[in-house]
Structure 1
């Protein structure tokens, strides 16, 4: 297997990748022996259209490739996931005449959280995601599986230093909003204009130096006994407030 390969696995993510991506991005298609005939036919039809060979393999081969992930009988060996170049992403978005909405993730470590967040980003029209190069999940096969294909539609830029990146964004006219225990009720948040939402680490929240760069902080009121939400759930709540404020009457 090429060292430049990663894996997309699972029926939804795998079929979506075969439908939407250039065949050059697919190195191999592995299909489990004995899967349902209608599903196998789908895989063969898509592979035939893109001149890809399907290799029938036993389940334990797919278990090995995915580290016992929930592959559902389909694994694609694909070219390594590509990141957007931060400066180029901003230039492209702004040249389109948009007032972009970006999501910055401060050291989200769980790939399942990152995948779920990308799925919500796709649903709510987030223009790009910014993640740090170190101490955070990158784009992996688990992220791809959890995102159910959204990884192919939401640009993700990886940067060296989030604090320095916020300063660049401010210079370009973006407003930065971060999550915190104390802040404006998220239900009053107006997310119009060039906006960046910053989500903190699952356990520690936004790092102190990064928090100082925020123009405003947002909080999600809670009346239960547990005063915290999973990072992907909190992100989803805030992104739908963004969606509501930017798409009123649409």
Structure 2
């Protein structure tokens, strides 16, 4: 069952709007600051005109007042709300590509910039989809889209009621559930080449107890300095690229 956000939705900035156009997203109107015609904005407006999208020139002050990110770059697009997919849609995407599923599960990420950064890295790593909880976590918002640099247009995101039940379902579908935990096996010596669901904990708190208990194994990132933890988006990026590294070579080194 697909669902959408229930607020008026907008994309801000040149990269998010350009990627939305390239991905064929339904855009109702583009608001552009008067006099803005240089570089990427000129290309965006040309593409929008070709698709029959309404373009409205407005004072920059109006965009400043509308902006939710504080970084509209002279451009705001009004679009249909974000559409989430189902977990099965994500698994189907992997089957269609004839690849072992690579899913990222986020356990209560609250910072929209962290979520956007994770989505951006996931797109670069070929992740088939991201799963987030409906409660106690950020959803796909304009700030998330901005932080993802438009990558959200290419990464499927499912929002579920219960993360633990979802992990159990992923196991039934043949995936190994790998949790990111400071005391886990060093990530570079743990085999992560098969169908995998990589679980990343929230900022500051990490994985919740029941989520951790439902992981097949835990992997950690060795720390050499005085600070004993990484930002969740940085940790997610390191682990996602380790999965890519291992999948791209055989046997595991």
Paired position in structure 2 for 1:180: 181
**Is the partner of 1:98 in helix, strand or coil?**
coil
How big is each residue's C-alpha offset from its partner over 1:37-71, in whole Å with a ceiling of 9 and x where there is no partner? 34442232111110112101111211222235201
Aligned residue runs from structure 1 range 94-105, under 5 A: 94=95, 96-105=97-106
**Is the partner of 1:30 in helix, strand or coil?**
strand
**Is the partner of 1:75 in helix, strand or coil?**
strand
CA distance 1:45–1:96, change in 2 (3 Å): closer
CA contact (8 A) 1:189 1:241 kept: no
Paired position in structure 2 for 1:17: 20
Paired position in structure 2 for 1:242: 243
Aligned residue runs from structure 1 range 95-134, under 5 A: 96-134=97-135
Paired position in structure 2 for 1:65: 66
Does residue 157 of structure 2 align to residue 153 of structure 1? no
Paired position in structure 2 for 1:202: 203
Measured in 1, the distance between the counterparts of 2:22 and 2:96 equals 29
Q: CA RMSD in A?
A: 1.6
Q: Displacement, 1:99?
A: 1.2
Measured in 2, the distance between the counterparts of 1:20 and 1:88 equals 18
**Is the partner of 1:55 in helix, strand or coil?**
strand
CA distance 1:101–1:37, change in 2 (3 Å): closer
Q: Displacement, 1:14?
A: 1.3
Q: Displacement, 1:88?
A: 3.3
Measured in 2, the distance between the counterparts of 1:26 and 1:179 equals 37
CA contact (8 A) 1:189 1:242 kept: no
Q: Displacement, 1:194?
A: 1.1
Measured in 1, the distance between the counterparts of 2:142 and 2:174 equals 35
Measured in 1, the distance between the counterparts of 2:97 and 2:38 equals 45
TM-score by length of 1: 0.93
The runs of at least 4 aligned residues of structure 1 exceeding 6 Å deviation read none
Measured in 1, the distance between the counterparts of 2:80 and 2:175 equals 33
How big is each residue's C-alpha offset from its partner over 1:11-57, in whole Å with a ceiling of 9 and x where there is no partner? 111122223324xx101101011224344422321111101121011
120-129 or 43-52: which moved more?
43-52
**Is the partner of 2:52 in helix, strand or coil?**
coil
Measured in 2, the distance between the counterparts of 1:244 and 1:40 equals 37
TM-score by length of 2: 0.92
